[in-house]
Amino acid sequence: MLTIPCPFCGERDETEFVNGGPVKASRPDTNVTDFEWIDWLTVPVNPMGYIEENWWHAKGCGKWFMIKRHTVTHDLAKRDGEYK
């Protein structure tokens, strides 16, 4: 079971949260092809390693926040930049 550190409530069980997906790159400007636009909308970021993700504390404070999670090991980054 994953324990997620809510910056507002502290360490909580993952069942209290909803994963909002990876933080996306900035929205492309208006000079993109249809293929580039569809790619930005539909292709999820899923590299091996640490990625930033949006999380919603649905069964807690109700706030959104970002964490860094390793996509293979599910280790979470601590706030000071050191990893568990």
Single-letter amino acid code for the residue at 7: P
Using one digit for the tens of pLDDT, what is the confidence trace for 55-81? 999 999 999 999 999 999 999 986 554
**Cβ count within 10 A of residue 8:** 10
Give the predicted TM-score (pTM) of the model. 0.77
pLDDT of residue 81: 45
Q: What is the 3-state secondary structure (H, E, C) of 8-70?
A: CCEEEEHHHCEEEEECCCCCCCCCCCHHHHHHHHHCCCCCCCEEEEEEECCCCCCCEEEEEEE
CB contact at 8 A, 4 and 12:
yes
